[in-house]
């Protein structure tokens, strides 16, 4: 944390239970540092009860054993992974000047801004000519997507409009259906670009029949809505269950967040029993009571935790504007086996001034550190789950306490309605990608910085500042060395030397800061 000691920035986790149910502790967002630190560990007591089918109370050795999951063969309802809307990216991180390549459900798509239609378009990321990736292309002067391999151009509908190699007086071969690129339905909702993973013409107007899940806080002008995104080197299933697990926070992320002092201190981290319960689990996901608030899993991608409306002393519900409210929104995108993408947003209706003053990249520094702190653990965990088989998860994992209620509920939903894993439709065979070197596994630049406008801009600016400091250092020494004796006072000479030393030292510190926060930051739990 040396590089971020000047700031205590927002994390990816749920706030501690306030002493009173109608307000948050002031220290959550307002401290001696810029802070929006949330803890997933509620210290208050909850009267909610967990379904015994999910996690029986730990009374005896035998009662601690998780109940066997029933088989769900022959169920009529089955979750169709390809009849859902999937998020691609927050619009704030898309550059209209160039195409972007993304992968979802193993489908490679190109995202680009069609200025002629005034809309984002999503096509297959392969030119029909020789299958070159269109995401490596450009937007030409007429606003068409151009493949840079041979110059073929496409409009927003995927129709080929120009083939440079075709004679002008010859047959219009560009009008052939074989010259077209597949186009996917897409829409912008909650400031996020979504697409429907089926290019069949029957889904052309799917937006009129089914829309992406809507989260009202993101569109509410009285809430902040800074977003972030990162590519994750472990799969969708592990990512989703990790975000539903509050019990790991004081251990995996110890030292990164401020938490309230526990009433009973069993260890230095302050872990304790959590009262959590699952409600209304069906093909459309489930709702849950987490003590401090409510949460929803809206498959396939959204885990949404929020503070419910609180009654006043008279028993009436307060106006939303009179309550301090916040939400934690995690959008988990299946990319390919062993890879996923996380989009996050933490809307709140208080402390709005903070997001207007503090650059978004500063929040991302801390949020990426939170992701890094359990990244290796989850990568290894996923490989172990693959070895035993995802359908054997509950037989292999011992989950006897209520703190695992949401994780158990998610695994139950996944097995009962979705076949126990993502349906890749035969795109992949074999196991997970092998574990790369630690520095590559926990890389931040390619997984986040290049895909975030704010962090990318900060990265470039800080690198320029580092070079300028080096130039100042060298120039100061050069001036002192070339000036003749007597032409510069001793005080001036000493000042120039001090300037050179300070500039060099600051450039080295800045280089270290850039590397740790925009390239690679290792995380050793033994020394936290």
Question: Which has the minimum average pLDDT: 197-201, 270-274, 420-424, 446-450?
Answer: 270-274
Could you tell me the pLDDT band of residue 208, with boundaries at 50, 70 and 90? very high
Could you tell me the pLDDT band of residue 266, with boundaries at 50, 70 and 90? low
Range 461-488 average pLDDT: 90
Strand-pairing partners, residue 348, are: 326
Give CA 37 to chain center in angstroms.
17
Query: What's the pLDDT tens digit per position in 406-434?
Result: 999 999 999 999 989 999 999 998 789 99
Give the model's pLDDT for residue 254. Answer: 65
Give the model's pLDDT for residue 292. Answer: 74
212: pLDDT strictly greater than 80: yes
33: pLDDT strictly greater than 50: no
Three-state DSSP at 39 gives coil
Sequential DSSP letters for 143-171: S-EE-TTT--EE-TTS-EEE-TTS-TTS-
Range 181-195 average pLDDT: 97
Query: What's the pLDDT tens digit per position in 18-31?
Result: 443 433 333 333 33
Q: How far apart are CA 157 and CA 154, in angstroms?
A: 8
Range 194-209 average pLDDT: 95
pTM: 0.83
Give the model's pLDDT for residue 204. Answer: 92
DSSP letter for 394, please: H
Give the model's pLDDT for residue 311. Answer: 57
Q: How far apart are CA 506 and CA 509, in angstroms?
A: 5
302: pLDDT strictly greater than 90: yes
Give the model's pLDDT for residue 63. Answer: 36
Nearest alpha-carbon partner for 243 in 93, 104, 344, 386: 344
Name which residue leads in pLDDT, 447 or 49.
Answer: 447
Give the model's pLDDT for residue 77. Answer: 85
226: pLDDT strictly greater than 80: yes
The DSSP H or E segment spanning 183 is strand 183-184
Range 364-385 average pLDDT: 93
Query: What's the pLDDT tens digit per position in 286-300?
Result: 999 887 788 999 999
Could you tell me the pLDDT band of residue 114, with boundaries at 50, 70 and 90? very high
Range 196-207 average pLDDT: 95
Could you tell me the pLDDT band of residue 57, with boundaries at 50, 70 and 90? very low
Backbone dihedral region for residue 398 (phi beyond 0: left; psi -120 to 50: alpha; all else: beta): beta
Give the model's pLDDT for residue 248. Answer: 82
Give the model's pLDDT for residue 422. Answer: 94
Give the model's pLDDT for residue 58. Answer: 38
Give the model's pLDDT for residue 242. Answer: 94
Could you tell me the pLDDT band of residue 306, with boundaries at 50, 70 and 90? confident
Q: What percent of the chain has pLDDT over 90?
A: 61
Question: Which has the minimum average pLDDT: 11-15, 87-91, 450-454?
Answer: 11-15
229: pLDDT strictly greater than 90: yes
Nearest alpha-carbon partner for 270 in 43, 100, 64, 483: 43
What would the two tokens of residue 198 be?
Answer: 């089926």
Q: How far apart are CA 262 and CA 104, in angstroms?
A: 42
Name which residue leads in pLDDT, 528 or 36.
Answer: 528
CA–CA distance from 464 to each of 31, 457, 507, 509 (Å)? 32, 11, 10, 14
Name which residue leads in pLDDT, 248 or 1.
Answer: 248
Q: How far apart are CA 26 and CA 28, in angstroms?
A: 5
Q: Please, what is the average pLDDT of the chain? A: 83
Name which residue leads in pLDDT, 365 or 526.
Answer: 365
49: pLDDT strictly greater than 70: no
Those residues with Cβ within 8 angstroms of residue 195's Cβ, 6 or more apart along the chain or in another chain? 85, 86, 88, 104, 109, 122, 184, 185, 186
Residue corresponding to tokens 């230095």: 268
Range 139-149 average pLDDT: 96
Range 360-384 average pLDDT: 93
Give the model's pLDDT for residue 316. Answer: 55
116: pLDDT strictly greater than 70: yes
């Amino acid at each position: 944390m040396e590089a971020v000691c000047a700031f205590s920035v927002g994390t990816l986790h749920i706030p501690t239970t306030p002493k009173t149910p109608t307000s948050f502790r002031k220290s959550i967002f307002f401290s001696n540092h810029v802070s929006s630190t949330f803890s997933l560990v509620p210290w208050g007591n909850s009267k909610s009860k967990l379904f015994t089918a999910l996690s029986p109370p730990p009374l005896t050795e035998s009662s601690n054993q998780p109940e066997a999951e029933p088989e769900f063969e022959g169920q009529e309802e089955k979750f169709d992974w390809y009849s859902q809307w999937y998020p691609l990216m927050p619009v704030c991180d898309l550059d209209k000047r160039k195409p972007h390549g993304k992968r979802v459900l193993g489908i490679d798509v190109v995202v680009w801004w069609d200025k002629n239609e005034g809309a984002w378009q999503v096509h297959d990321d392969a030119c029909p000519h020789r299958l070159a990736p269109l995401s490596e292309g450009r937007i030409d002067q007429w606003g068409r997507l151009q493949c840079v391999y041979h110059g073929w151009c496409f409009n927003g509908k995927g129709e080929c409009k120009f083939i440079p190699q075709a004679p002008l007086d010859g047959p219009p071969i560009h009008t052939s259906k074989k010259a077209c690129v597949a186009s996917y339905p897409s829409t912008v909702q909650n400031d996020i670009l979504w697409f429907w993973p089926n290019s069949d013409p029957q889904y052309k107007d799917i937006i009129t029949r089914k829309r992406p899940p809507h989260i009202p806080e993101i569109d509410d002008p009285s809430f902040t809505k800074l977003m972030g995104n990162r590519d994750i080197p472990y799969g969708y299933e592990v990512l989703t269950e990790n975000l539903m697990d509050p019990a790991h926070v004081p251990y995996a992320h110890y030292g990164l967040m401020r938490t309230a002092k526990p009433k009973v201190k069993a260890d230095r981290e302050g872990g304790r029993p959590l009262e959590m319960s699952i409600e209304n689990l069906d093909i459309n996901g489930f709702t849950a009571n987490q003590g401090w608030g409510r949460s929803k899993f809206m498959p396939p991608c959204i885990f949404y935790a929020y503070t419910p409306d609180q009654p006043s002393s008279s028993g009436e519900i307060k106006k939303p504007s009179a309550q301090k409210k916040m939400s934690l929104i995690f959008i988990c995108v299946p990319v390919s086996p062993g890879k996923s993408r996380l989009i996050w947003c933490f809307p709140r209706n208080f402390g709005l001034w903070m997001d207007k003053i503090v650059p978004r990249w500063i929040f991302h520094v801390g949020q990426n550190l939170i992701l890094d702190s359990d990244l290796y653990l989850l990568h290894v965990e996923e490989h172990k789950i693959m070895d035993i088989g995802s359908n054997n998860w509950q037989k292999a994992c011992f989950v006897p306490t209520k703190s695992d209620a949401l994780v158990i509920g998610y695994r139950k939903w996944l097995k009962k309605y979705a076949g126990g894993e993502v349906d890749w439709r035969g795109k992949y065979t074999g196991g997970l990608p092998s574990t790369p070197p630690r520095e590559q596994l926990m890389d931040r630049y390619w997984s986040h910085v290049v895909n975030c406008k704010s962090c990318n801009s900060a990265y470039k600016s800080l690198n320029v500042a580092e070079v300028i400091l080096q130039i100042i250092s060298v120039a100061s020494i050069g001036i002192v060395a070339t000036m003749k004796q007597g032409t510069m006072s001793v005080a001036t000479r000493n000042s120039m030397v001090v300037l050179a030393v300070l500039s060099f030292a600051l450039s080295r510190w800045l280089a270290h800061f850039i590397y740790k926060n925009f390239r690679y930051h290792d995380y050793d739990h033994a020394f936290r």
